[in-house]
Amino acid sequence: PGSTCWERKRLGSHTLLERGMQVKRGAGKGKKPAAAPLATRKVIEKAPKNPLFVKRPRNFAIGQDIQPKRDLSRFVKWPKYVRLQRQRKILVERLKVPPAIAMFTKTMDKNLSSQLFRLCAKYRPEDSAEKKERLSRMAESKASGGNVEQGKKPIVIKFGINHVVELVEQKRALLVVIAHDVDPIELVVWLPALCRKMDVPFCIVKGKARLGEVVHLKTATTLAFTSVRAEDKMEFAKLIESCRSNFNDRYDDFRKQWGGGRFGIKSQHAQIKKARALAAEEAKRAVV
């Protein structure tokens, strides 16, 4: 009570300083300890650089250094026939395909088809060079006054849609081979039904270029066997039995199976997402 105004101010300033120091002491409790001095740190020794080799970083901006090689197939402008066949494949997958056309996607398996084409190779018809040689031999024999032997007619495979249809209608065809990729498909779309009606074994194989190779042509729609040699009869009988079980006997099933109707990858993901959302909503309702 006897203190002067100046003393009160001095005492007040001391109390303020003490309070500030207490606050600072409390605030410093959560601090991390200081890092170790530089002398204790490990010094990483850099490998000596050769001054002859100078680092020259490349700049891949427009008009600068040559770009690195990369796969540019995504940027290629494909030929028109490639684009058309890819678009056709997508359309066939997306649209609903009638059973008569969808049947041509169910082709013979690899083992059976290789067995079939091995047999076809034995009955290839003569090509133009062989025919020319045969006719020239006959002409020489005739010119020299000798007897021209016609010989026995060779057993060869028959080809051509009109010829094969005629053989099927006359029931002379023992086995009919149809290509799966005939364009337009209307040329052969009715042939399986005809073979079934006439009880002629048939099969669908890949593809028209491979059939054409058998008969020395670029492509062929159909081939037909009319007879085989005695040494091949056992193998041919097994082949006919397989074709009957895989195609003729399953024809009624094929008539009911539609093709196509497959969604794209984006639509598939959208459907999965929608199904998950519906399932989650049903689960919530069940809990409530």
> pLDDT tens for residues 84-136?
989 999 998 999 999 999 999 999 999 999 999 999 999 999 888 888 888 88
d(CA 155, CA 52): 80
Residue 268, domain member (yes or no): no
The two tokens of residue 17 are: 């300083």
Residue 104 domain flag: yes
For residues 249 and 214, give the distance between their C-alpha atoms in angstroms, rounded to a whole number. 27
Q: Is residue 181 part of a domain?
A: yes
Contact 214, 157 (CB under 8 A): yes
- Pair of tokens at residue 204: 């669908």
* Residue 16 in this model has a pLDDT that exceeds 90: no
Q: What is the pLDDT of residues 169-227, one digit of tens each?
A: 999 999 999 999 998 999 999 999 999 999 999 999 998 999 999 999 999 999 999 99
Q: Nearest to residue 194, comparing CAs of 210, 170, 211?
A: 170
What is the total count of domains within the chain?
1
Q: Kind of pairing, strands 222-225 and 158-159? A: antiparallel
CB 203 within 8 A of CB 247: yes
The model carries a pTM of 0.67
- What is the phi/psi pair of residue 159, to 5°? -145, 170
Q: Rounded CA gap, 109 and 17, in Å?
A: 97
Report yes or no on 124 lying in a domain.
yes
Whether residue 87 is contained in a domain is answered as no
Domain containing 164 equals: 99-130+153-258
Virtual torsion, Cα 60, 64, 65, 70, nearest 10 deg: 50
- Round to whole Å and give the CA distance between 73 and 58: 25
206: domain CATH number? 3.30.1330.30
Dihedral of CA 139/140/141/145: which sign?
positive
DSSP H helical segments within the chain, as ranges? 5-27, 80-94, 99-102, 110-122, 128-143, 161-169, 191-197, 208-214, 233-243, 251-254, 265-287
